[in-house]
Amino acid sequence: MPKPEVLILSPNRPDQMAQLDTLYTLHRLDLAKDPAALLAEVAPRIRAVVTTGGRGITAAEIAALPALEIVATSSVGTDAIDLAACKARGIAVTNTPDVLTDDVADMALGLILMTRRRLVDGHAYVASGDWAQKGPFPLTSALKGKKVGILGLGRIGQAIADRCLPFGLQIGYTARSAKANDFQFFETPEALASWSDIFVAATPGGADTKHLVSAKVIEAIGPNGTFINIARGSVVDEAALIDALKGGRLGSAGLDVFASEPKADPALTQLPNVSLSPHHASGTVETRDAMAQLVVDNLAAHFAGAALLTPVL
C-alpha cells in the first residue's frame, strides 16, 4: 500500500515532523521554491493537510485539493481555516485544545503584570542608568482588589480566572451564555468593560467576534483601565484602540496578537503605554510538542478509521 500523501502548509516540531515523515509521503509547500508547480504536480493525490493557526487554509486551496480528507491544525483557533468549505466537502478538521490552555493563561497574567506594573519600563530604567540619574521609578497600580473582566469564559478564559483569584482580583465575564459559577456575568462586552479595571479578550477570532471590542467597549474600559488581548487581533477594532491609547481615553494595553501579523502597526510599537508580545502565548517547547503530537495522533486516527481525538468537524 502506498503511504498517504500529506501537504505541509506550515511545519510542526522536529520530532513530530520525523514521525509524519515515517508514516506518510510529505510534500513541503512551506519550503517549495515554486509552490504553484509543486501543487500542480501533487494536488490530486493529497489526502491530508497539516497547518497552523496563523497559516490556516483558504477556500481556494481546499478547492485545489480534490482528494482532501482531513485538515489538522496545530492550534486551537480555526479562524484561518475555511470551515464552511471543509464542511461542504465533508473534510474533517482537527485542532489542539486543552494542551495550550495553561501557557496561554500564563501569558495573559504575564501581560497584566507587565502592563500594570510597567515591568519593561522598569527594566529599561535600570539598564539605561536612569535610576541612578533620575531617582526612584514612578509608582504603579496594585493588582489586589481590582476587577478583571474576561471576554470569553471558555477553556482559556477560565484558566485566566483561576490564576487571577490568588492575586486577589475580582472576576466578571461575558460569553455567549452564562456559566454555572460564582463570577459576575454581564450581558454585553460594553457592560463588562464599564465594570472592569482590566479587560481580557479570550474568545476565538473570525467573523463572529470581529471588532467585538469596539470603540465603545475600549472607551468603557477607560483612562485608568487596561486592555489585554491573547485572543486574536481581529477581536479588537485596532484603529480605535490606537486612537484611545493616544488620546488617553484608554490607560494601557498588553497585546500578544495583532490585526496585521507579524508586522504590528508601528503606532502600537511607539506608544509608551503598550506592552507587546509576538503572538507567543502557546510558544513553549512543551506545549508546542504536545500540540504537534495531537496533529500526528489525529492523522493516525483518521487513517486507521478510528475516532478523531480532537475534532472540530
123 is annotated as an active-site residue? no
226-245 binders of ligand NAP (CB under 6 A): 230-232
Distances (CA, A) of 135 to 57, 122, 130, 139, 308: 53, 12, 7, 12, 60
Q: In angstroms, what is the minimal distance from the CB of 173 to ligand NAP? A: 8
Residues in contact with ligand NAP, counted by CB under 6 A, come to a total of: 30
261 is annotated as an active-site residue? yes
Question: According to CB under 6 A, which one of 104, 161, 192, 213 is a site residue for ligand NAP?
Answer: 104
Q: In angstroms, what is the minimal distance from the CB of 301 to ligand NAP? A: 20
Where does this chain touch ligand NAP (CB under 6 A) — which range of 110-118, 139-147, 170-178, 244-252?
A: 170-178
Residue 157 found at the interface with ligand NAP (CB under 6 A): yes
Residue 285 found at the interface with ligand NAP (CB under 6 A): no
Phi, psi for residue 51 in degrees, rounded to 5: -145, -175
27 is annotated as an active-site residue? no
CA distance 268 to 150: 22
CA distance 175 to 156: 12
Where does this chain touch ligand NAP (CB under 6 A) — which range of 110-118, 218-226, 279-287, 301-309?
A: 279-287
Catalytic residue among 47, 116, 163, 232: 232
Residue type for position 123: H
Residue 262 found at the interface with ligand NAP (CB under 6 A): no
Catalytic residue among 41, 261, 280, 286: 261
Residue 209 found at the interface with ligand NAP (CB under 6 A): yes
Question: According to CB under 6 A, which one of 9, 17, 57, 202 is a site residue for ligand NAP?
Answer: 202
Q: Which residues of the shown chain bind ligand NAP in the complex (CB under 6 A)?
A: 76-77, 97, 100, 104, 152-157, 174-177, 202-205, 208-209, 212, 230-232, 256-257, 279, 281-282
Q: Which residues are catalytic?
A: 232, 261, 279
